[in-house]
Amino acid sequence: MHQFNELLSIIDSHIGGAQWFVYLLLGTGLFFTIYLKFPQFRYLKYSLRIVRGKFDKEGDVGDTSHYQALTTALSGTVGTGNIAGVALAIHLGGPAALFWMLMTALLGMTTKFVEVTLSHKYREITSDGTIAGGPMYYMKNRLNMKWLAVIFAGATVLSSFGTGSLPQINSISNSVFTTFGINKVLTGAVLSILLAFVIIGGIRRIAKVTSTLVPVMAIIYFIGAIAVIGYNYQNIIPSIYAVFHDVFTGTAAAGGFLGAGFSFAFNRGVNRGLFSNEAGQGSAPIAHAAARAHEPVSEGLVALLEPFIDTIIICMLTGLVVLSSGVWTKKIDNQFQYADLTVLAGTYTDQNPEGQKTLHDYLAGKTDLEKFSGQLTVTDGKIKNQPSIVHCRSLAEDVTVQSSGKPFSGTINVQNGRVLETSNVTFSGKSLVHSAPLTTEAFTKSWLGDYGRYIVAIGLLLFAFSTAISWSYYGGRAITFLFGVKADLYFRIVYVIGFFIAAFTDTTIIWTLSGIAIALMTIPNLFGILMLHREMKSEISSFWKEYATRFPEENAPKD
């Protein structure tokens, strides 16, 4: 398992984790922002009007309304990225990572506007009478690059698991287990049955479910987040200051957090920002293609709202919860995950600047520390002559070893710092935590106390489950494009099975896989929309002419 995760990490480091990918993503958003004269600011008020159906015409073709398409797409983006992904970004890159998440969203508003418009324009009606759309259709019908469309569709299928299915149920099961003590297998089984029931009904049932779920889950989460931020009101200004102050300098060591440089905060912030709002990934256009609209730009304007709601509002809330609560620098009791655990050969400390720098340089890849190889002797749960153990990028304390819930005695094999997994043997102790457990801990720092855990558990359940629903549709449309309508049913069966298995699979591996899947889907889409930049500008000009004719009193923009 360790070797597989290391292989995935190497692949991710050359694709989604590489600087060139970050520059491609931000550069595309920046290009369209300037080229289209800052549409995320100038068009925002019109987006709200179109969502309410103001621009609709009788006889518009589609399977869903503007609002249903928006909530379906939002249910696909508002998920673990908003709860677990923000916490992971701060854990890896410090407060500055949140800034880069927000910048990704700001530029992403334009990117999503463009990709949805072009995808809606070249959508098709399938043999069963439903609408099929997405970047693969403009690649095939406009660019005449079916090979690129096939690459994108294949990546979409992979991403439906790496983004929509696997990390969602994994975060749900971890949170439910931590909060309620419910077995992960049971959680996976129950939710898999519910998922199957919803997705069998196709886009109309999916849209009906998500249009109800999205507002409910947003309200619940908002109330819980405000309770934490209000309780820690004295930390609001310092938290916001840290987000902006450390943007170009990186974050110094604080508590158990050993510091993070600029490049790491920048890369992880952009990467997690994309995972959260999916701008440029090409997923949302698949949902929006089903919307009833006669003018593609109108649906693009609806999509422009998504990164604003998903990242600028919800992710910012989560970020302030994590930062103002202070838990991101504190070591807490937790059960260690083998993929996040490394046994060093020597003994180190994080209680002085020299020790902090040594460990920071190791985690940043600047230096290497000798890893332990051999056997750890454990007596009654305690490791004899214990070397330093790093877990979740922090120096672990009060480490104990258990087997089937009882103190373990015996030997444990370690090879090059990695514990060779032993059945029923677990490591526990104090260390930093990341992803959903970090956000869960932060939500307890309010008037609600430990009851705050339930907000995260319920929020994750609703957010992540709705994301899995939407991504089943995305993957199904991609399978339809590749193999025809009949293949969609087989895909849904495999999707549900994968959803179940991921409930009890290692978290770190799933997050790494999701990063690879995102990159493989995003690159062809960005390449495609950049090639069609002139057509996009022409579409916008045509749209505003019609809008001005129908609503002359509104002084529509002239592009």
Q: Where are the domains of the chain?
A: 7-42+64-330+443-554, 333-431
More confident residue, 186 or 170: 186
DSSP 3-state helix, strand, coil percentages of the chain (rounded to 5)?
Answer: 65, 10, 25
- Which residues make Cβ contacts (< 8 Å) with residue 265, sequence separation at least 6? 92, 93, 94, 96, 97, 100, 246, 247, 250, 251
**Residue 14: per-residue pLDDT:** 79
pLDDT band at 508 (very low <50, low <70, confident <90, very high): low
More confident residue, 187 or 65: 187
Given a cut of 80, whether residue 267 has pLDDT beyond it is no
**Residue 142: per-residue pLDDT:** 95
Given a cut of 90, whether residue 324 has pLDDT beyond it is yes
pLDDT band at 225 (very low <50, low <70, confident <90, very high): very high
Give the separation between CA 193 and CA 24, rounded to whole angstroms: 39
| 257-266, 439-448, 510-519: which is most confident | 439-448
End-to-end Cα spacing for the chain: 54
Phi, psi of 390 (to 5 degrees): -100, 125
**Residue 116: per-residue pLDDT:** 94
Bridge partners, 394 (sequence order): 391
* Residue at token pair 């990467």: 271
Given a cut of 90, whether residue 300 has pLDDT beyond it is yes
Q: Mark residue 293 as left, alpha or beta (left: phi above 0; alpha: psi -120 to 50; beta: remaining).
A: beta
**Residue 62: per-residue pLDDT:** 74
Provide the CA 40 distance to its chain's centre, in angstroms. 22
Question: Which amino acid, one-letter code, is at 438?
Answer: L
Given a cut of 80, whether residue 91 has pLDDT beyond it is yes
Give the separation between CA 316 and CA 152, rounded to whole angstroms: 30
Given a cut of 70, whether residue 398 has pLDDT beyond it is yes
Report the top-level CATH class of 7-42+64-330+443-554.
mainly alpha
Provide the CA 268 distance to its chain's centre, in angstroms. 11
pLDDT band at 415 (very low <50, low <70, confident <90, very high): very high
Give the tens place of pLDDT for each residue, 153-164: 998 998 888 777
* Residue at token pair 């046994």: 343
More confident residue, 517 or 132: 132
**Residue 329: per-residue pLDDT:** 93
Given a cut of 80, whether residue 179 has pLDDT beyond it is no
**Residue 1: per-residue pLDDT:** 60
pLDDT band at 221 (very low <50, low <70, confident <90, very high): confident
Q: Does the reported pTM lie above 0.85?
A: no
Cβ-contact 525, 280 below 8 angstroms:
yes
Give the separation between CA 79 and CA 166, rounded to whole angstroms: 12
Range of lowest pLDDT (244-248, 391-395, 422-426, 440-444) = 422-426
Given a cut of 80, whether residue 78 has pLDDT beyond it is no
pLDDT band at 375 (very low <50, low <70, confident <90, very high): very high
3-state secondary structure of 281: coil
pLDDT band at 529 (very low <50, low <70, confident <90, very high): very high
| 60-69, 365-374, 514-523: which is most confident | 365-374
Range of lowest pLDDT (213-217, 280-284, 439-443, 532-536) = 213-217
Given a cut of 70, whether residue 445 has pLDDT beyond it is yes
Provide the CA 432 distance to its chain's centre, in angstroms. 20
Q: How many CA atoms lie within 13 A of 108 on its CB side?
A: 32
Cβ-contact 255, 393 below 8 angstroms:
no
Cβ-contact 131, 54 below 8 angstroms:
no
Give the separation between CA 221 and CA 326, rounded to whole angstroms: 19
> Which segments within 8-163 are labelled E, that is strand?
124-125, 131-132
Mean pLDDT over each residue of the chain, to the nearest integer: 87
**Residue 2: per-residue pLDDT:** 64
Tokens of residue 341, six digits: 């655990």
**Residue 511: per-residue pLDDT:** 66
| 17-21, 204-208, 530-534: which is most confident | 530-534
**Residue 181: per-residue pLDDT:** 85
